[in-house]
Structure 1
């Protein structure tokens, strides 16, 4: 990365990713192609993309401090620990498994998560009508969180949509609280997965440092913009983002 165009492209992609991750998720679809376009090998681009968007999660998490303070600290700590474990497991899988094996199912996962998020309120209402214990709901949410965190450590694309789908189906009806939990857990799992990538020497540092700064600014801006938007608009944005990402990933898989 030596020319001004590459620097500006990577910075713009990272800023946009930070905004998108704060509002709906899916920012890695901007950072990963930008890195590949500027000449970074795909596996290194995947790891560097995770590094690039990780500070954006910090900015967006700070932007949702009021929502996080309203939740029990014990729950936040437990879910953060689960997310961190999943992130490390997923990063380990990426380092030992060819990325092409997983690429084939990514479009299906994104499409499923988008449909799940769209149907989340209806599913949650029916689940509450059927009944169930709080402990049972918590265990189901935590098991789902571990699975999503492993996915996020392996391939970050669509992580935010999967987390938002998980919390919506688990019964959380407040869209900004869903966003806050998504950003906090994304922060923890992405930072720990990045540690694994650094140890393995899979990071393009010059590109990554430029993108980290831009993603942090984008994440904070996105959190502020997200809270000002009506909840219905945010939900529609998440669904639209999921559908577009699914179509693009299907096209990539077939191409």
Structure 2
């Protein structure tokens, strides 16, 4: 019961982080690995569990969606679904040892994006000296690449989306957050459909159920909290979690 409670709390934290600014994978994945799940299975379980939370967050924020340049929301979502499916397929097809070896480096990459992504975006905009406007095709191509990464791993994928939209279209992070949550749900949903039928995620039903319930509660509450809590505080907590998780993964390897 204590283990299930801890998994539930990890789900709450992960769902809330995804709703607020991204990074739920930094909590969900290491928590599941700590409870003895193999990394690939833990990745699949976390992705399945975080889908309902992401959908709950998207529902709360549905009236605040801002278009991403000239790319329609329907096309952007279709690309996210397709990319998420490709990434999930890669996770299932490639040897488990590949993910074991890549996981610490993916976490490190995601942590760097989290720590310096906003500064890089601002520096690029300043260097160009004028507003950059990507075409609809360029936005969709970038979204597909990010979605593939999200389907395979998922760490900081929402932050990468905001960075792309900020650099290429000048979309403010706060204004783009509702669309980020919506696209995150689309990426995770397509990956989940594959994981449910092909992965070992359903062999741990109690762990999956506990994290899923927690993620729904966290995602719903996080979407409301995102409108109230100061962004610097949230980014600080998320960055501390990301750095700690990354270091522990390298030590573990």
Same fold by TM-score, threshold 0.5 exceeded?
A: yes
Query: Which among 173, 196, 199 is matched to residue 198 of structure 1?
Result: 196
Partners of 1:8 and 1:82 in 2: how far apart? 36
Q: How does 1:1-255 map to 2 (within 5 A)?
A: 4-68=1-65, 70-71=66-67, 75-97=72-94, 98=96, 99-114=99-114, 115-124=116-125, 126-127=127-128, 129-130=129-130, 134=133, 136-203=134-201, 204-229=204-229, 233-234=230-231, 237-238=234-235, 241-242=238-239, 244-246=241-243, 248-255=245-252
The worse-fitting range, judged by mean Cα deviation, of 168-177 and 6-15 is: 168-177
Change (3 A) 1:74 1:157: closer
Change (3 A) 1:118 1:130: closer
The worse-fitting range, judged by mean Cα deviation, of 233-242 and 88-97 is: 233-242
Change (3 A) 1:236 1:82: farther
Partners of 1:237 and 1:137 in 2: how far apart? 32
| Number of equivalences | 245
* TM-score, length-scaled by structure 2: 0.86
User: Cα RMSD (Å) of the superposition?
Assistant: 2.4
Change (3 A) 1:90 1:241: same
Change (3 A) 1:214 1:248: closer
